[in-house]
Structure 1
Amino acid sequence: MNDFKTATFEQLNTTQLYQILALRSEVFVLEQNCAYQDMDGLDALTHHVWAETDEHLFAYARILPPVLHPDKHVSIGRVVVAETQRKDKWGKKLMQYAIDQAQLLFPNTIIEISAQTYLTHFYQNLGFANTGNFYLEDDIPHQTMVYRPVR
Protein backbone atom coordinates (compact mmCIF):
# COMPACT_ATOMS: atom_id res chain seq x y z
CA MET A 1 0.00 0.00 0.00
CA ASN A 2 1.26 3.46 -0.89
CA ASP A 3 0.72 6.06 1.78
CA PHE A 4 1.40 9.76 1.60
CA LYS A 5 3.73 11.36 4.08
CA THR A 6 4.29 14.97 5.15
CA ALA A 7 7.40 16.44 6.75
CA THR A 8 9.21 19.69 7.29
CA PHE A 9 12.71 19.97 5.86
CA GLU A 10 14.24 19.23 9.26
CA GLN A 11 12.18 16.03 9.54
CA LEU A 12 13.42 14.62 6.22
CA ASN A 13 16.21 12.10 6.42
CA THR A 14 19.07 12.12 3.93
CA THR A 15 17.62 9.24 1.89
CA GLN A 16 14.27 10.99 1.53
CA LEU A 17 15.92 14.27 0.55
CA TYR A 18 18.13 12.50 -1.98
CA GLN A 19 15.13 10.70 -3.53
CA ILE A 20 13.13 13.95 -3.69
CA LEU A 21 15.92 15.79 -5.48
CA ALA A 22 16.59 12.82 -7.78
CA LEU A 23 12.91 12.57 -8.79
CA ARG A 24 12.65 16.31 -9.43
CA SER A 25 15.82 16.20 -11.54
CA GLU A 26 14.63 13.09 -13.43
CA VAL A 27 11.36 14.72 -14.48
CA PHE A 28 12.02 18.46 -14.63
CA VAL A 29 15.61 18.49 -15.91
CA LEU A 30 15.91 15.29 -17.95
CA GLU A 31 12.37 14.46 -19.11
CA GLN A 32 11.19 18.05 -19.65
CA ASN A 33 14.64 19.19 -20.79
CA CYS A 34 14.73 22.25 -18.50
CA ALA A 35 18.10 23.41 -17.29
CA TYR A 36 17.26 25.46 -14.20
CA GLN A 37 18.30 25.86 -10.57
CA ASP A 38 15.97 23.40 -8.81
CA MET A 39 17.49 23.95 -5.38
CA ASP A 40 16.18 27.48 -4.93
CA GLY A 41 16.64 27.93 -1.18
CA LEU A 42 12.94 27.39 -0.44
CA ASP A 43 13.00 23.69 0.42
CA ALA A 44 14.15 24.43 3.97
CA LEU A 45 11.08 26.65 4.48
CA THR A 46 8.40 24.32 3.13
CA HIS A 47 6.37 21.26 3.96
CA HIS A 48 7.13 18.27 1.78
CA VAL A 49 4.54 15.66 0.75
CA TRP A 50 5.28 12.41 -1.03
CA ALA A 51 4.28 8.84 -1.71
CA GLU A 52 6.59 5.88 -1.72
CA THR A 53 6.55 2.14 -2.07
CA ASP A 54 9.21 -0.22 -0.76
CA GLU A 55 11.21 2.84 0.32
CA HIS A 56 11.19 4.22 -3.25
CA LEU A 57 9.77 7.73 -3.49
CA PHE A 58 7.72 8.21 -6.68
CA ALA A 59 5.41 11.22 -6.14
CA TYR A 60 6.25 14.55 -4.55
CA ALA A 61 5.11 18.15 -4.03
CA ARG A 62 6.04 20.95 -1.69
CA ILE A 63 3.78 23.37 0.17
CA LEU A 64 5.12 26.89 0.57
CA PRO A 65 3.67 28.77 3.56
CA PRO A 66 1.90 32.15 3.32
CA VAL A 67 4.82 33.95 4.97
CA LEU A 68 6.78 33.52 1.71
CA HIS A 69 4.23 35.47 -0.34
CA PRO A 70 3.39 39.18 -0.10
CA ASP A 71 -0.35 38.51 -0.48
CA LYS A 72 -0.18 35.68 2.10
CA HIS A 73 -1.36 32.80 -0.09
CA VAL A 74 -0.10 29.23 0.15
CA SER A 75 1.45 27.67 -2.91
CA ILE A 76 1.97 24.10 -4.01
CA GLY A 77 4.88 23.50 -6.31
CA ARG A 78 7.43 21.07 -7.67
CA VAL A 79 4.55 18.65 -8.29
CA VAL A 80 6.07 15.53 -9.80
CA VAL A 81 5.20 11.87 -10.34
CA ALA A 82 7.60 9.28 -11.74
CA GLU A 83 6.67 8.28 -15.28
CA THR A 84 6.10 4.65 -14.26
CA GLN A 85 3.39 5.68 -11.79
CA ARG A 86 1.40 8.19 -13.85
CA LYS A 87 -0.97 5.63 -15.35
CA ASP A 88 -2.32 4.94 -11.85
CA LYS A 89 -3.59 8.53 -11.34
CA TRP A 90 -0.96 9.37 -8.71
CA GLY A 91 -0.87 12.98 -9.88
CA LYS A 92 -4.48 13.47 -8.85
CA LYS A 93 -3.98 11.61 -5.57
CA LEU A 94 -0.86 13.65 -4.82
CA MET A 95 -2.52 16.99 -5.54
CA GLN A 96 -5.61 16.14 -3.50
CA TYR A 97 -3.39 15.17 -0.59
CA ALA A 98 -1.31 18.35 -0.98
CA ILE A 99 -4.48 20.50 -1.04
CA ASP A 100 -5.79 18.75 2.08
CA GLN A 101 -2.46 19.22 3.87
CA ALA A 102 -2.25 22.89 2.84
CA GLN A 103 -5.75 23.48 4.22
CA LEU A 104 -4.90 21.62 7.42
CA LEU A 105 -1.64 23.54 7.92
CA PHE A 106 -3.00 26.94 6.81
CA PRO A 107 -6.80 26.98 7.22
CA ASN A 108 -8.91 29.33 5.09
CA THR A 109 -5.93 30.37 2.96
CA ILE A 110 -6.00 30.65 -0.82
CA ILE A 111 -3.72 28.20 -2.62
CA GLU A 112 -1.92 29.45 -5.72
CA ILE A 113 -0.08 27.30 -8.25
CA SER A 114 2.03 27.85 -11.33
CA ALA A 115 0.44 25.30 -13.66
CA GLN A 116 1.71 24.09 -16.99
CA THR A 117 -1.08 25.13 -19.35
CA TYR A 118 -1.54 21.66 -20.83
CA LEU A 119 -2.68 20.60 -17.32
CA THR A 120 -5.40 23.28 -17.04
CA HIS A 121 -8.32 20.81 -17.02
CA PHE A 122 -6.51 18.53 -14.57
CA TYR A 123 -6.21 21.39 -12.05
CA GLN A 124 -9.72 22.70 -12.77
CA ASN A 125 -11.08 19.25 -11.86
CA LEU A 126 -9.34 19.63 -8.49
CA GLY A 127 -11.06 22.96 -7.85
CA PHE A 128 -8.48 25.44 -9.16
CA ALA A 129 -9.62 28.43 -11.24
CA ASN A 130 -7.81 30.25 -14.01
CA THR A 131 -6.60 33.77 -13.26
CA GLY A 132 -5.82 34.80 -16.84
CA ASN A 133 -2.12 35.22 -15.98
CA PHE A 134 -0.22 33.28 -18.67
CA TYR A 135 3.58 33.24 -19.02
CA LEU A 136 6.57 31.18 -20.13
CA GLU A 137 8.67 29.48 -17.49
CA ASP A 138 11.70 27.59 -18.76
CA ASP A 139 10.16 27.83 -22.26
CA ILE A 140 7.06 25.94 -21.09
CA PRO A 141 3.67 27.74 -21.15
CA HIS A 142 2.31 28.22 -17.61
CA GLN A 143 -0.54 30.02 -15.93
CA THR A 144 -1.37 31.10 -12.41
CA MET A 145 -4.33 29.20 -10.93
CA VAL A 146 -6.00 29.59 -7.52
CA TYR A 147 -7.94 27.35 -5.17
CA ARG A 148 -10.29 29.14 -2.82
CA PRO A 149 -11.22 27.13 0.27
CA VAL A 150 -14.87 26.82 1.21
CA ARG A 151 -15.37 28.80 4.40
Structure 2
Amino acid sequence: MNWIHRDTFDSLSTLELYEILKLRQDVFIIEQDCIYEDIDNLDQSSEHLVLKEQNRVAAYARIVPADVKYKEYSIGRIVVNPAYRGRGLGKEIVLKSLELLKQRQISEVRIEAQAHLRKFYHDLGFKDDGEIYELDGILHIQMLNRLIP
Protein backbone atom coordinates (compact mmCIF):
# COMPACT_ATOMS: atom_id res chain seq x y z
CA MET A 1 0.00 0.00 0.00
CA ASN A 2 1.18 3.49 -0.64
CA TRP A 3 0.21 6.88 0.75
CA ILE A 4 -0.66 9.78 -1.49
CA HIS A 5 -0.83 13.19 0.16
CA ARG A 6 -2.21 15.97 -1.99
CA ASP A 7 -1.79 19.25 -0.18
CA THR A 8 -4.06 21.11 -2.59
CA PHE A 9 -7.20 20.24 -4.50
CA ASP A 10 -5.54 21.19 -7.78
CA SER A 11 -2.79 18.63 -7.21
CA LEU A 12 -5.34 15.78 -7.43
CA SER A 13 -5.44 14.15 -10.83
CA THR A 14 -8.80 13.85 -12.54
CA LEU A 15 -8.70 10.08 -11.99
CA GLU A 16 -7.83 10.46 -8.29
CA LEU A 17 -10.70 12.90 -7.79
CA TYR A 18 -13.11 10.57 -9.59
CA GLU A 19 -12.02 7.56 -7.48
CA ILE A 20 -12.34 9.54 -4.23
CA LEU A 21 -15.79 10.91 -5.05
CA LYS A 22 -16.96 7.48 -6.25
CA LEU A 23 -15.85 5.84 -2.98
CA ARG A 24 -17.51 8.55 -0.89
CA GLN A 25 -20.72 8.18 -2.90
CA ASP A 26 -20.68 4.38 -2.66
CA VAL A 27 -20.25 4.40 1.13
CA PHE A 28 -21.86 7.58 2.45
CA ILE A 29 -24.81 7.81 0.07
CA ILE A 30 -25.54 4.31 -1.26
CA GLU A 31 -24.33 1.97 1.50
CA GLN A 32 -25.57 4.19 4.33
CA ASP A 33 -28.76 5.03 2.41
CA CYS A 34 -28.30 8.72 3.11
CA ILE A 35 -29.21 11.30 0.52
CA TYR A 36 -27.03 14.31 1.24
CA GLU A 37 -24.74 16.73 -0.54
CA ASP A 38 -21.32 15.09 -0.38
CA ILE A 39 -19.72 17.62 -2.71
CA ASP A 40 -19.88 20.51 -0.27
CA ASN A 41 -17.34 23.06 -1.53
CA LEU A 42 -14.82 22.11 1.17
CA ASP A 43 -12.73 19.84 -1.05
CA GLN A 44 -11.20 22.80 -2.88
CA SER A 45 -9.61 24.20 0.29
CA SER A 46 -8.70 20.82 1.81
CA GLU A 47 -5.73 18.50 1.76
CA HIS A 48 -6.43 14.96 0.61
CA LEU A 49 -4.90 11.81 2.06
CA VAL A 50 -5.32 8.62 0.05
CA LEU A 51 -4.15 5.10 0.80
CA LYS A 52 -3.93 3.07 -2.41
CA GLU A 53 -3.28 -0.56 -3.16
CA GLN A 54 -2.91 -1.85 -6.71
CA ASN A 55 -4.25 1.43 -8.12
CA ARG A 56 -7.43 1.25 -5.99
CA VAL A 57 -8.37 3.71 -3.28
CA ALA A 58 -8.37 1.63 -0.08
CA ALA A 59 -8.97 4.53 2.33
CA TYR A 60 -9.37 8.30 2.21
CA ALA A 61 -9.61 11.34 4.47
CA ARG A 62 -9.60 15.07 3.91
CA ILE A 63 -8.02 17.65 6.16
CA VAL A 64 -9.90 20.94 6.26
CA PRO A 65 -7.91 24.00 7.39
CA ALA A 66 -8.85 26.02 10.45
CA ASP A 67 -11.50 28.70 9.97
CA VAL A 68 -12.97 27.00 6.90
CA LYS A 69 -15.58 24.70 8.49
CA TYR A 70 -14.61 25.04 12.16
CA LYS A 71 -12.22 27.29 14.05
CA GLU A 72 -9.92 24.26 14.38
CA TYR A 73 -8.47 22.08 11.68
CA SER A 74 -10.78 19.16 10.99
CA ILE A 75 -10.56 15.71 9.49
CA GLY A 76 -13.54 14.50 7.55
CA ARG A 77 -14.95 12.19 4.90
CA ILE A 78 -12.95 9.40 6.51
CA VAL A 79 -13.81 6.30 4.53
CA VAL A 80 -12.50 2.79 3.94
CA ASN A 81 -13.29 0.94 0.74
CA PRO A 82 -15.56 -2.03 1.66
CA ALA A 83 -13.11 -4.39 -0.09
CA TYR A 84 -10.40 -3.36 2.41
CA ARG A 85 -12.34 -3.32 5.69
CA GLY A 86 -11.19 -5.31 8.71
CA ARG A 87 -7.53 -4.47 8.11
CA GLY A 88 -7.20 -1.46 10.42
CA LEU A 89 -7.10 1.07 7.59
CA GLY A 90 -9.58 3.43 9.24
CA LYS A 91 -7.30 3.73 12.25
CA GLU A 92 -4.27 4.00 9.99
CA ILE A 93 -5.67 6.89 7.94
CA VAL A 94 -6.80 8.82 11.02
CA LEU A 95 -3.39 8.37 12.67
CA LYS A 96 -1.62 9.45 9.47
CA SER A 97 -3.84 12.57 9.30
CA LEU A 98 -3.08 13.40 12.94
CA GLU A 99 0.63 12.86 12.33
CA LEU A 100 0.62 15.34 9.43
CA LEU A 101 -1.05 17.93 11.66
CA LYS A 102 1.26 17.30 14.64
CA GLN A 103 4.27 17.90 12.39
CA ARG A 104 2.91 21.41 11.83
CA GLN A 105 2.36 22.04 15.52
CA ILE A 106 -1.44 22.11 15.09
CA SER A 107 -2.84 21.96 18.62
CA GLU A 108 -6.45 20.83 18.11
CA VAL A 109 -8.34 18.79 15.54
CA ARG A 110 -12.11 18.46 15.28
CA ILE A 111 -14.21 15.75 13.70
CA GLU A 112 -17.94 15.39 13.17
CA ALA A 113 -18.17 11.67 13.90
CA GLN A 114 -21.00 9.28 13.34
CA ALA A 115 -22.11 8.46 16.88
CA HIS A 116 -21.68 4.69 16.51
CA LEU A 117 -17.94 5.31 15.96
CA ARG A 118 -17.38 7.19 19.26
CA LYS A 119 -15.31 4.44 20.87
CA PHE A 120 -13.16 4.13 17.74
CA TYR A 121 -12.36 7.85 17.93
CA HIS A 122 -12.01 7.84 21.73
CA ASP A 123 -9.32 5.19 21.32
CA LEU A 124 -7.48 7.58 18.96
CA GLY A 125 -7.48 10.43 21.48
CA PHE A 126 -10.68 12.27 20.57
CA LYS A 127 -13.04 13.45 23.29
CA ASP A 128 -16.74 14.27 22.99
CA ASP A 129 -17.37 17.99 22.48
CA GLY A 130 -21.12 18.31 22.80
CA GLU A 131 -24.20 16.17 22.61
CA ILE A 132 -25.28 13.65 19.99
CA TYR A 133 -27.39 15.18 17.22
CA GLU A 134 -28.98 14.04 13.99
CA LEU A 135 -27.48 15.10 10.68
CA ASP A 136 -28.98 13.86 7.42
CA GLY A 137 -30.77 11.06 9.29
CA ILE A 138 -27.60 9.75 11.00
CA LEU A 139 -26.60 10.40 14.63
CA HIS A 140 -23.37 12.40 14.94
CA ILE A 141 -21.24 13.96 17.66
CA GLN A 142 -18.59 16.66 17.59
CA MET A 143 -15.26 15.41 18.91
CA LEU A 144 -11.97 17.16 19.62
CA ASN A 145 -8.40 15.87 19.83
CA ARG A 146 -5.91 18.09 21.65
CA LEU A 147 -2.71 17.14 19.87
CA ILE A 148 -0.59 19.59 21.86
CA PRO A 149 -1.85 20.19 25.42
For normalisation by structure 2, the TM-score amounts to 0.94
User: Could you tell me which residue of structure 2 aligns to residue 115 of structure 1?
Assistant: 113
Contact (CA 8 Å) 1:63, 1:76: kept in 2 or not? yes
User: Could you tell me which residue of structure 1 aligns to residue 124 of structure 2?
Assistant: 126
Higher helix share: 1
Contact (CA 8 Å) 2:108, 2:148: kept in 1 or not? no
User: Could you tell me which residue of structure 2 aligns to residue 54 of structure 1?
Assistant: 54
User: Could you tell me which residue of structure 2 aligns to residue 93 of structure 1?
Assistant: 92
The residue type paired with residue 142 of structure 1 is: H
Q: Structure 1 segments of 4 or more deviating over 3 A? A: none
Q: Secondary structure at the match of 1:87?
A: coil
How far apart, in 2, do the equivalents of 1:121 and 1:85 lie?
A: 21
**Identity percentage of aligned residues:** 36
For each residue in 1:89-111, what CA deviation from the matched residue of structure 2 results, as whole angstroms up to 9, or x when unmatched?
11000110111122234x23310
1:148 maps onto 2:146 in alignment: yes
Contact (CA 8 Å) 1:65, 1:73: kept in 2 or not? yes
Contact (CA 8 Å) 2:107, 2:148: kept in 1 or not? no
1:68 maps onto 2:68 in alignment: yes
Contact (CA 8 Å) 1:23, 1:58: kept in 2 or not? no
Return the offset for 1:36: 0.9
1:136 maps onto 2:138 in alignment: no
Q: Secondary structure at the match of 2:96?
A: helix
For each residue in 1:58-105, what CA deviation from the matched residue of structure 2 results, as whole angstroms up to 9, or x when unmatched?
2101000013146x3000000100112111111000110111122234
